[in-house]
Amino acid sequence: MLKDLFQKKRQYATLGAPETAPARVSAARSEKTDQIPQGLVNKCQTCGALLIAKELQKHLYTCPNCDYHFPLDAPTRIQVTLDEGAFFEYDAGLTSADPLPFPGYADKLRRAQQASGLREAVVTGEGTLDGHPVVIGVMDSRFIMGSMGSAVGEKIARAMERAAEKRYPLILFTASGGARMQEGILSLMQMAKTSAALRRLSDAGVLFVSVITHPTTGGVSASFASLGDIILAEPGALFGFAGRRVIEQTIRQKLPDDFQTAEFNLKHGMVDKVVHRKELRPTLSLILRVHSGRGWADGR
């Protein structure tokens, strides 16, 4: 099934990109931070293997050598998750304002839009996964670290409301540094807004699967990311409330290397399952099948 995904060039539905063409950077980026693979050859930041683009794509942007998971941008994530050509985007025209205003924020937004080709740090919409209709949201860490301001909160809350209305399961892929500082308290309140919308989705009996990808921290971690009926995480993904440096300063101790990783969270009971990217689509498909299943007497 995975093989089929890449046999032909996939059609990709509307993504509401700004007029400016995304500025592609072809040279290899710094290895200090996790970069979305670009260009012809990428170096695995963990084992150092040189990987050509075609091969990376075949392995869903994981290292065939050491299983390191490169971050995915939102369009690619949607492409490798949903059935071909099935995506219909919600609220493509919804973008951030500068309500405080915050020095440099308007420029920062413009640069993020140009560099990512997106209008905001989350793409939401609906589609099918192995034929199951779903509402999906994917955060994109390229866009101001995937941070949640009013626009991100609004898009996610609307996606939740549509999922409740249509009774489609909701799948959210998180990747975020947390609340977006540049919108002050309004960003913080997006945590409450999205969690309130989840309360309604949950009351409606609709499934919500949260998929934690690298990195998911702060205000996103402390709101919807942690509220999935089922929480899956990609191997090695950072998932936690406070940043490592802040914690090390607080407790005056070095933290173990695996601190706040997906595996650490699995061990502490905070996620249901750590799933290799190649297994994500089949795993989600099985979860959807279980939740669409009937067969037992329904005493309600």
Partner 1 sequence: MAGELEFERPIVELRAKIEELRRFTSESGVDLSDEIQKLEARLEELTESIYANLTPWQRVQLARQPGRPTTLDYIRGICEEFVELHGDRNFRDDPAVVGGIGLVDGRPITLIGTQKGKDTKDNIHRNFGMAHPEGYRKALRLMKQAEKFGRPVALFIDTAGAYPGASGEERGQSEAIARNLMEMAGLRVPTVCFVTGEGGSGGALGLGVTDRIYVLEYAWYSVIAPESAAAILWRDSAQAPRAAETMRITAPDLVALGIADELIREPRGGAQKDPAAMIRTVRGKLVSALEELSALSVDERLARRYDKYRKMGVFVEA
Both structure tokens of 15: 């993504």
Where on the phi/psi map is residue 287: left (φ > 0), alpha (ψ -120 to 50), or beta? alpha
Residue type, 160: M
When binding is defined by CB under 8 A, the residue of 188, 229, 272, 285 that contacts partner 1 is: 188
When binding is defined by CB under 8 A, the residue of 5, 13, 186, 266 that contacts partner 1 is: 186
Nearest alpha carbon to residue 124 among 115, 116, 136, 132: 136
Is position 133 an interface residue for partner 1 (rule: CB under 8 A)? no
The CA-to-CA distance between both ends of the chain, in Å, stands at: 37
Q: Per DSSP, what are the bridge partners of residue 212?
A: 174, 233
Is position 15 an interface residue for partner 1 (rule: CB under 8 A)? no
Q: Per DSSP, what are the bridge partners of residue 123?
A: 138
CB atoms within 10 A of CB 41: 12
Is position 213 an interface residue for partner 1 (rule: CB under 8 A)? no
Is position 125 an interface residue for partner 1 (rule: CB under 8 A)? no
The reply to whether omega before 101 is within 30° of 0 (cis) is: yes
When binding is defined by CB under 8 A, the residue of 1, 27, 269, 295 that contacts partner 1 is: 269
For 57-67, letters b (16+ CB in 10 Å) and e give ebbbbbbeeeb
Is position 108 an interface residue for partner 1 (rule: CB under 8 A)? no
> Mask 34-73, x = binds partner 1 (CB under 8 A)?
----------------------------------------
Span from 19-27, 64-72, 131-139, 146-154 in contact with partner 1 (CB under 8 A): 146-154
By C-beta, is 271 or 275 nearer to partner 1?
Answer: 271
Q: Which residues bind partner 1 (CB under 8 A)?
A: 91, 93-97, 99-100, 102-103, 149-151, 153-154, 157, 179, 181, 183-193, 195-200, 202-203, 218-219, 221-227, 239-243, 246-247, 250-251, 253, 255, 259-260, 268-270
